[in-house]
Structure 1
């Protein structure tokens, strides 16, 4: 691995060195102080009166402060303590990720001490709701707030204050929430909006709500004196203010590689293991692009310890942290280690940049990469692309190491790359992803012309046109782009429109239970644990894997195979040992079953939920695959004369790899036409597919005739 060098300007931020004296009085064992003292020591506390004053006099308040200043946990409590939850009102705090909403609710509930989560303090995330009629402080994801506005309460009348946290991440749901709140501000004079950001783009958020000029007067004809046309009267306008909160940040020494690394996963785990052996205090936080990279890094680390020093297992613990990880495993990150002599290496995606604060971190290893969703309307492909992070993200990551004491950040890229190649900020999700779900949400909210919806950044006409075309093909809107009955039903599901359409079709085919199971597996990490690597031991594991999967695999492809796995689980109730023998991910399988049961509850609102069972295998397989085709007919490909698959509409070559689809394993069969649910950039270039099944081309005319005319 290439060596590190320490640049002259080793401080993360110029102002950090001057802050060392200011925060020096905060002890290293801050988390061990009494709870009341911890709250008083948080940087947000000295701004408490300023925040409450701002809410009384302004309708929009923007709070700028680094993560760990206490914004997310303390501001809702200040509101609760000062009457903003009286008269049956609630305070809402939105989060970009479910783990943040869940952990914050746990923490605030503990601090308030008025019952467990779900009473005074609760949370609502996709497929999990812990609230009650007594809930006063509610943490929820941006998407769940949009669902509330779409399905139940367009004016969000139950909330007196809505706090949009981590707004700087600029995902589609948070930008849509901001646009919705801007419309609500015109109708509701009693609501207050708080925007929280960890970066210094506060002016953009404030200008979005109040404009460049806050005070305004207008010449207006009085109703009681029509002739008094020159009288000047005040016109009420939204006002706002910005509050800046200094963070509790120690200096961080930043080190770069002298030469670029040719294997960021191996470099990351090797660097982390070296740090954990040499560091006296604190844990190591490593940033990697994806869950697959994290799993591979943990495997590399375990292999290294097995082969070089088995005793390291007692001194070092490798722990993953990513969004699809079950909540119980995510929560372990925030618990005290079983032994004070054990160093933890936390391997995380960008979820650990701002959404959550991992405790006891003093060293950061930054791969400099992130996996972001992109959509290309020309090819009709959703892509998850590993790209370099922005400078803002790099600073956020490095800052994770300076929460407890002076820390260190090891960047697995050169200083020249940081200075000259990285973008200043990450491009908003609204400008780079598929907008089909976004447009359906607007239609369900009653927005007839999506171009009139006020957004901070306007997406391209081409992307919006594709979203409208997709919704029309799915039957969600008519020729006048008005929402149909089917579209209204689709918008009530907590899934993307294609999955919603697939679920509703299952009611017609009589296989709702099976298709709900297929849909649930698309929401989690793969339920199969595939062997990695090329060693002799792994080759034997591959043979064992093929033998295990042969019991449930269906020759038509992945979707029926996934339905078979869940049916087997229903019949036999697999435990951890059973899943290990069958090469199944126990936690992913368990989560899939939970999501399936919730999706079936949604389906019962629209019809009878039935199951075909395992009796008529062929009829069951056809019914499941027809439902998948009803939602994903955009993603149909045909085998060409060269033996490769090409998409029907755009004639784009795609790759079906054995590692991602059972259809190309030895159990699968030949198929001229296939349908797929997911695409991603292949390791060797090209577009690879996940979740693939064979189909009958006649189904396309039956399920989406207008699309193929």
Structure 2
């Protein structure tokens, strides 16, 4: 017989919370009736029963329980550890209570600080060296007993398809792991602790690291071989032969720089042959300098208009790299800041919280850091990142290489010292290979005078010529077919994904007062937006229309940093005049049919710009007529469609129209108009 379940209808009275004000004392507490099932259960009412099953009972036991100590794999007690250490040599005993003397070791560390790892540590301390893979080979630190190997390293990766560089953390090779373990016990007993399993070691570690010839551009190697009359580079018996496509890309780059020329009756894009590319006189001059091919061209052209001292310094600092401290490293190991960073605001002096004071110090460091960047940019007109580096070198030499100067201006002293030495070496090479008519007197001086406005303009043209295939145009000015690059938006996971809007639709470039989030289209990188890096001199200026960049880096998220994942950052940016592009790189451009000014043209804006330039330069004109034998026409160059590109590459270059220029036509005897070369 089924019984009906009784429902408890008793009421529970729950008093309302008493108010804090005095008037609540006189009020009668209101009582609310609720069901017992709906009432909150107090903790005291819970039945804490004993553990019922045997498996749960084992989990409830403390590790110090008598039964747990009987387990062979249980943790050792302090007494057992002490007894075990007593049987070991002094070098291997557990001295975890000994204070640690921690020292860093990496390549950019000043030499005097690097040498500290070889000095005996303070008495009653334990030496701990935190090192990069600089300590992997050819280095023996006395007294090192243990090595802790994480099995990873950070290396620069180069994307051969688009030239984008990125720094990625990956597994090391087995050979590197063996080298790291060999750092332990060099002068006595030792041990290496590897923070990875044997399965990871076998499955993910290559036997040897990939040779640099397989992962970096080989254009400098190809130029050197061409200068030695080794035309068929692909068939050369390399110990480790590079990829044939890498060799072909190197030859095409040298062709665009003017170091190689295309042999007659040898169309670009055919299979590599000994007669396809020939070295030019410019290429032979470039091969005399063991530098990056772009910087070699910059150096060869630098004797014009008295710019040689500036070009030598510029090549030296661009070879070494940006000497400024990285922004993410500003606060590492020093919360007091560097140089001017210790100057806090007046309001911050009254802060009592240590956390707030530390925050104010960090803000002061960042403020002084960007002030230093802008200070050097102002001396060059704030139009070029490479010219800002030139200002840094000049100021450093004027300060006679002062360490205090580096600290006050957030510069890495070791890099600046390397720039100083390399500048002297390059000057010696220039003196040894320069033509007799070249004026070399300015190279003998260690100091550098500020360049004139004309020299600054010439230096910008030199930079454009050296990086002529790395041009970028503001996205809203590019042709619609090229500028339909989807804008990026952040999803819930913090990743940058494509949205339904396009950068062309925003027309933001002409309106913005800063290049922040203003998209550019870079030559050779189709379908991807690029952005000026925040450390550039152009970041807080109105976005220019045309720029040239020295390198492009793929941004990646790092911890809690707000760097946008997947963005392409343009570095080493310089504002350029688009009228320079065809003059400096004619093989990268194609020309339109001659446009007669009397007939009009759909691209009238380009013609009007050329006419305005003609009036400014007071160029002489040739009056045409019915019986004229000479007349002026206009030609419109298009960047990215010239003979230096084959059909497959032209899809990577948008085909951007450049300002028109005036050319003279003469009437031939056959009655045809012939256009004279510019």
TM-score, normalised on structure 1? 0.51
- Kept in 2, the 8 Å contact 1:490–1:497? The answer is yes
Superposition RMSD on alpha carbons, in Å? 3.4
Question: How far apart in 2 are the matches of 1:513 and 1:706?
Answer: 29
Indicate the SS of the match to 2:369. Answer: helix
What are the equivalent positions in structure 2 for 1:234-245 lying under 5 Å apart? Answer: none
- Kept in 1, the 8 Å contact 2:399–2:405? The answer is no
What are the equivalent positions in structure 2 for 1:233-632 lying under 5 Å apart? Answer: 278=96, 315-322=100-107, 330=114, 332=115, 335-337=118-120, 339=122, 341=124, 343-480=126-263, 481-524=277-320, 526-532=322-328, 535-554=359-378, 555-573=382-400, 575-604=402-431, 605-606=433-434, 607-609=438-440, 617-632=452-467
* Residue of structure 1 equivalent to 2:522: 647
Question: How far apart in 2 are the matches of 1:654 and 1:358?
Answer: 48
TM-score, normalised on structure 2? 0.54
Question: How far apart in 1 are the matches of 2:522 and 2:189?
Answer: 54
Indicate the SS of the match to 1:583. Answer: coil
| 2:546 corresponds to which of 655, 663, 673 | 673
Question: How far apart in 2 are the matches of 1:586 and 1:277?
Answer: 37
Question: How far apart in 2 are the matches of 1:570 and 1:692?
Answer: 24
How far off is 1:559 after superposition? 0.8
* Residue of structure 1 equivalent to 2:632: none
Question: How far apart in 2 are the matches of 1:616 and 1:457?
Answer: 45
- Kept in 2, the 8 Å contact 1:502–1:628? The answer is yes
How far off is 1:359 after superposition? 4.0
- Kept in 2, the 8 Å contact 1:559–1:625? The answer is no
Question: How far apart in 2 are the matches of 1:527 and 1:586?
Answer: 8
Question: How far apart in 1 are the matches of 2:545 and 2:538?
Answer: 12
How far off is 1:625 after superposition? 2.0
Question: How far apart in 2 are the matches of 1:276 and 1:515?
Answer: 58
- Kept in 1, the 8 Å contact 2:318–2:386? The answer is no
Question: How far apart in 1 are the matches of 2:226 and 2:94?
Answer: 52
Return the structure number with greater helix share. 1
- Kept in 1, the 8 Å contact 2:166–2:555? The answer is no
- Kept in 1, the 8 Å contact 2:104–2:129? The answer is yes
Question: How far apart in 2 are the matches of 1:430 and 1:367?
Answer: 26
Q: Kindly tell me the number of residue pairs found equivalent between the two proteins.
A: 403
Question: How far apart in 1 are the matches of 2:158 and 2:132?
Answer: 21
Question: Is there any run of 5+ residues in structure 1 with no aligned partner, and where?
Answer: 1-7, 9-26, 30-252, 254-274, 281-311
Distance 1:277 1:629, change over 3 A: farther
Question: Is there any run of 5+ residues in structure 2 with no aligned partner, and where?
Answer: 1-72, 74-88, 264-276, 332-358, 477-502, 504-517, 557-564, 590-641, 643-678
How far off is 1:439 after superposition? 1.0
What are the equivalent positions in structure 2 for 1:73-222 lying under 5 Å apart? Answer: none
Question: How far apart in 2 are the matches of 1:494 and 1:279?
Answer: 53
* Residue of structure 2 equivalent to 1:243: none
Question: How far apart in 2 are the matches of 1:355 and 1:657?
Answer: 40
Distance 1:677 1:597, change over 3 A: same
* Residue of structure 1 equivalent to 2:573: 692
Distance 1:440 1:644, change over 3 A: same
Indicate the SS of the match to 2:187. Answer: coil
Question: How far apart in 2 are the matches of 1:445 and 1:492?
Answer: 11
Question: How far apart in 2 are the matches of 1:380 and 1:445?
Answer: 27
Indicate the SS of the match to 1:354. Answer: coil
* Residue of structure 1 equivalent to 2:585: 704
* Residue of structure 1 equivalent to 2:471: 636
* Residue of structure 1 equivalent to 2:8: none
Indicate the SS of the match to 1:278. Answer: coil
- Kept in 1, the 8 Å contact 2:294–2:467? The answer is yes
Distance 1:395 1:603, change over 3 A: same
- CA offsets 1:540-598 (integer angstroms, 9 cap, x no match): 11112223333221421311111111222233435222322222223322221221122
How far off is 1:438 after superposition? 1.5
Distance 1:341 1:696, change over 3 A: farther
Distance 1:599 1:640, change over 3 A: same
Indicate the SS of the match to 1:482. Answer: strand
How far off is 1:658 after superposition? 4.5
Distance 1:674 1:652, change over 3 A: farther
How far off is 1:651 after superposition? 2.4
Structure 1 segments, 4+ long, off by >6 Å, are none
Question: How far apart in 2 are the matches of 1:499 and 1:556?
Answer: 20
- Which has the greater radius of gyration? 2
- Kept in 2, the 8 Å contact 1:527–1:584? The answer is yes
Question: How far apart in 2 are the matches of 1:356 and 1:579?
Answer: 29
Question: How far apart in 2 are the matches of 1:277 and 1:660?
Answer: 46
Higher mean C-alpha displacement, 634-643 vs 530-539: 530-539
Distance 1:477 1:366, change over 3 A: same
* Residue of structure 2 equivalent to 1:137: none
How far off is 1:682 after superposition? 1.8
Question: How far apart in 1 are the matches of 2:421 and 2:374?
Answer: 25
Question: How far apart in 1 are the matches of 2:287 and 2:123?
Answer: 49
How far off is 1:391 after superposition? 2.4
